[in-house]
Structure 1
Amino acid sequence: MTTYKGNQTANENLSPSLQRKLESMEVEIVNDLTTGGSDKAASAETVKILKTSVDTHKKEVATTDILGHFKPDGATITVDPETGVAKANYASAITTAVNTSEQKMVAKTSIGQANGVASLGSDGKVPASQIVASAPTNLANDAVKVYVDNVSGNDSNTGASAATGVKTLAEAVRRIKSLGAKERKIILVGGRTFDEELNLEDIHGSYVSVNCEPYDNRASVKSVNIQGCSAQINLMNFDVEKRGTIAAIPSYGVNVYRCNWVTMYRMKIVAQSRGVFCSRVAYCLMDGLEINNAGADAVYCSESYAIVDGIKGTGNNYGYYASSGIIIGSAGNLSATTPQLKSSGGQIFF
């Protein structure tokens, strides 16, 4: 430890007051990284050591034993929530359920645990009962995909691919609702017939879509119910109809109520009453739909703004019905046994 006191000989020739001022400016030079104090200064050597340490940390690769600045592609590092240290026993317990480097699994507490920390079993690993599947996350673009297969799927699967899809539409919806990703997608495995309603209620955030893969082998669902959603909902390339094992369908094909923005593309809809029921929706786009055998209206619009284009279909009672709403666009080839267009306090512009 070195103390700098200036030039003592020169100080003796200065006035006492100035000399006291200079002496008060004495600074203690410190050569370690542990001594503190506002009246001390670090030496150039100490700063060099500190910089070297920071530079080394930036290049440190995380492993199952070292918590580094970053992790290599494909590695899954799980940190002890209490100590902040990465441990192999946490990682090995969780990564067994991971299918690709882009997917993540989350260890959660069992019901009733108050501290929010998954406890270790006698073997030093997180028990399987405390490892629950979360919706997979695509780390590249912060998008989420959940595949649904009611034949080969299982609701305990990751849902990350068609081969590991969940079984029910309800489970797929539950997962995407719990996430705040920029883009969330439910993918129906092609050719499947779901004896289940696709129920999209109270979904918020930016964007949610329901699609089908492969594109040329469409799946079908019992009906679609969309209510109270502020997120943009996009339906495309699947059918809503009585088909296969579906015993009955509700009076509507697609019901949209109190939503901000809903779009429907390339869908075939069969309904007992209304094909598309749209009420209190700020913006509803229907493009390339086929609506057949609607006992009431193929498209019903109430207190909503709807844009239609390229809609076709046969066996419907009414074509378009605007009740205190606005329907605008192209009528398409939608046939009806009674008036094609009907309004009650609404407007239709074709």
Structure 2
Amino acid sequence: MRELTVVPVPGPGAEDVLIGHDGTAYTGTADGSILAVSSDGDTIRRIGNTGGRPLGLEWLPEGRILVCDAHRGLLTMRLDTGAVEVLADSVDGRRMRFCNNAAITADGTIWFSDSSAKWGIEEWKSDLIEDTRTGRLLRLAVGESEPEVVLEGLCFANGVAAAADSSFVVVAETGTRVLRRVWLRGPHEGERDLFASDLPAHPDNIARGSDGLIWVTYASPTDPALTFLQTKAKPWVKLAVLRAPEHLKPKPKRTVRVAAYDDEGQVVHDIECDATKWHMATGVREHEGKVWLGSLVEPALAWFEV
């Protein structure tokens, strides 16, 4: 069991984490803030505010970061001024409900997830309980303003990562515990398959590390109650659970677990950490042997050494 170093931040729900070349950690919190945390955790500064709920973060050229904002869509933010620009907030004329996570391939194409077409982030449990399967993987080409739907019918589309050579992209499907792959070039170009299946827990964000591996967060172990609701429950049962008080609904267990896969889909690391002081890892970045974690529920980042 690994020990975590917890780094408090001035805001709840530091959901994802992005690491700069100098080791600075960037994260977004529930109040809309984008924060920069020094590598030693001693200095924190606010870069700006999206005016929404930032989730996934990625690097863009020219001193900007890409922000998947659950309320406002796909955004960019300048690191020097905090200025925000909307890249895309709708698909086929309909506003996105739950822009979540992204990856950028070598040609500049942005691949990103929209977790649900019915429920927003405040009701993320409802999408899994109802099993709407309205999640999507989308792509936004350079210079375009209209995203293209690449995969649909996903059970809570979540983290996105690309192959080291940009030959494929992977999207995590939280509800079904699989990682789906779309081949972009090579002998399998255009094909869709499973990168990994029957995962031991529900995956959340995924991201390529400096070690070349695809790191995966497991937000929670499997839950028999949720599995029953998704596979066997009658519609009226699901409706009753949706209307039930929050404390009666299935909820994540208090754990911290991450894994890392090579580009062949083989597990290289499967690491559990002490969840006493920090839990529910939803964001992950490996940088030069240090693994940073974000959490949808914690007002802090955390890290451990590989």
Shorter-normalised TM-score: what interval? under 0.3
Structure showing greater radius of gyration is: 1
Report the structure, 1 or 2, having the larger strand content.
2
- Structure with bigger RCO (C-alpha 8 Å, 6+ apart): 2
Name the structure where helix makes up a greater proportion of residues.
Answer: 1
Q: TM-score when scaled to structure 1?
A: 0.23
